[in-house]
């Protein structure tokens, strides 16, 4: 059987074309992920700079000013210093748990960003159970903290890990009930659908006005989940030296530092999604796509406007946890648990029952 050389060339070019398409498809799979990771990293650097500047203003100090313009590169310098420092390991601890704990804390929080819409359908995974997937993923974080405390072979670290687990369990239940009430109002658990349900009436359609009690409970529960003052009992310096972080140094300590700010940013973004209308304008009956159209010429501009509105709302909300850190005193552990189980849980249950009743009456 004789095969013509032109046929061989045609077959080879076809296979080359198919292989190029596969490579092109793989590249476009990872480009959105790398873009999201880069944006999250920049967002964390901005949060660290904002917290240092706002805390300096509250305490009548100057704050960082030498590392870059207005000290914007101070967080980057701190991260570089932690990366270059020696990584110490406890001699009698469980080294495997000691190493895995910080990674679990960071990775589980990073997975939460997959379901966050930053603009008009600008989301990596629009799932029908989006908000509950976030709650399920966030419940993994205390496991990493408990592993870190146990693997350190230090009673202060172990106490901090136990406190982190107890605090997370206590405040995840009211937070979940508040999210369930929002899902009932929006008739969906998708983050995109929740934002679209608030877009019709603009500023007046925000769930902040329809669920004011749920918003306050969600705010306190999210602060406790992020271990921000006055809920930073797992790493209370006066009682536990530094909690589950006591035996850590170098980049592993930097992972805990990164995880706390990643969790703070994701909580602010979910407050924006659930209660503040997400990427939409505050003008009734006007959305970004209706205002600028969906032509290719304005598509990039529409996406940029949506991202700007989402981040603007999230960073404006960040002023609340930053200012409370330098305003309110730390609670005792018994006060923390009493607030979660005896106060926030009954209120969130009552709010859910009221929401359910109102939805049944409106049918």
Q: What pLDDT is stored for residue 1 in this prediction?
A: 46
**DSSP secondary-structure letter at 356?**
H
Task: Give the pLDDT score at 37.
Answer: 80
Cα distances from 84 to residues 42, 124, 245, 256, in angstroms, run 20, 33, 18, 16
Pick the closest to residue 132 from 184, 59, 209, 198 (CA basis).
184
Q: What is the pLDDT of residue 347?
A: 93
- Rounded distance between C-alpha atoms, residue 123 and residue 113, angstroms: 9
pLDDT for residue 290 = 55
Q: Which two tokens stand for residue 206?
A: 């925000």
Residue 199 · residue 280 · CB < 8 Å: yes
Helix (H) or strand (E) holding 234: none
- CA dihedral sign, ordered 238, 97, 252, 35: negative
Q: Which residues of the chain have pLDDT under 50?
A: 1-3, 8, 14
Residues 6 or more apart from 16 whose CB is under 8 A from it?
none
**Residue keyed to tokens 């918003």:** 215
- The rounded distance, in Å, linking the Cα atoms of 328 and 340 is 17
Contact residues for 294 (Cβ-Cβ < 8 A; gap 6+): 302
- pLDDT score of 142: 86
What phi-psi label fits residue 89: left (phi over 0), alpha (psi between -120 and 50 degrees) or beta?
beta
pLDDT of the residue at 8: 47
Q: Which burial class, exposed, middle or buried, applies to 135 when counting CB atoms under 10 A from its CB (0-12, 13-18, 19+)?
A: middle
Return all residues near 55 (Cβ < 8 A) that are at least 6 apart: 61, 63, 322, 325, 326
User: Could you tell me which residues come within 8 angstroms of residue 340 by beta carbon, excluding any fewer than 6 positions away?
Assistant: 167, 170, 171, 173, 174, 221, 224
**Is residue 108 within 8 Å of 140, Cβ to Cβ?**
yes
**What's the CA gap between 94 and 112, in Å, rounded?**
28
Quote the pLDDT of residue 348. 93
φ/ψ of residue 95, rounded to 5 = -65, -35
What pTM does this model have?
0.85
pLDDT at position 179, please?
92
Quickly list DSSP for 92-129.
Answer: TS-HHHHHHHHHHHHHHHHHGGGG---STT--S---TT
């Amino acid at each position: 059987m004789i095969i013509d050389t032109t046929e061989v060339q045609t077959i080879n070019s076809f296979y080359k074309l198919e292989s190029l398409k596969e490579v092109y498809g793989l590249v476009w799979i990872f480009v959105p992920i790398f873009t999201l990771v880069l944006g999250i990293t920049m967002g964390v650097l901005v949060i660290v700079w904002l917290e240092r500047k706002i805390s300096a203003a509250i305490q009548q100090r100057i704050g960082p000013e030498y590392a870059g313009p207005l000290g914007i590169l101070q967080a980057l310098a701190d991260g570089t210093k932690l990366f270059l420092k020696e990584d110490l390991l406890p001699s009698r601890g469980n080294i495997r748990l000691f190493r895995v704990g910080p990674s679990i804390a960071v990775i589980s929080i990073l997975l939460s960003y997959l379901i966050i819409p930053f603009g008009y359908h600008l989301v990596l995974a629009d799932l029908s159970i989006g908000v509950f997937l976030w709650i399920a993923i966030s419940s993994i974080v205390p496991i990493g903290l408990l592993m870190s405390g146990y693997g350190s072979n230090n009673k202060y670290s172990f106490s901090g890990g136990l406190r982190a687990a107890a605090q997370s369990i206590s405040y995840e239940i009211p937070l979940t009930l508040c999210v369930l009430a929002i899902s009932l109002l929006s008739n969906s658990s998708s983050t995109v659908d929740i934002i679209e349900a608030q877009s019709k009436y603009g500023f007046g359609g925000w769930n902040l006005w329809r669920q004011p009690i749920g918003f306050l409970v969600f705010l306190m529960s999210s602060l406790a989940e992020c271990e921000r003052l006055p809920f930073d009992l797992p790493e209370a310096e006066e009682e536990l030296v530094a909690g589950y972080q006591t035996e850590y140094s170098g980049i592993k300590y930097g992972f805990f530092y990164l995880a706390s700010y990643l969790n703070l940013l994701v909580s602010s973004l979910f407050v924006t999604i659930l209660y503040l209308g997400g990427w939409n304008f505050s003008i009734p009956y006007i959305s970004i796509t209706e205002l600028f159209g969906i032509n290719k010429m304005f598509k990039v501009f529409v996406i940029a406007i949506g991202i700007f509105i989402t981040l603007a709302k999230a960073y404006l909300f960040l002023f609340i946890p930053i200012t409370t850190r330098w305003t309110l005193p730390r609670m005792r552990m018994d006060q923390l648990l009493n607030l979660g189980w005896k106060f926030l849980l009954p209120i969130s249950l009552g709010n859910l029952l009221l929401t359910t009743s109102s939805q049944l009456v409106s049918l």
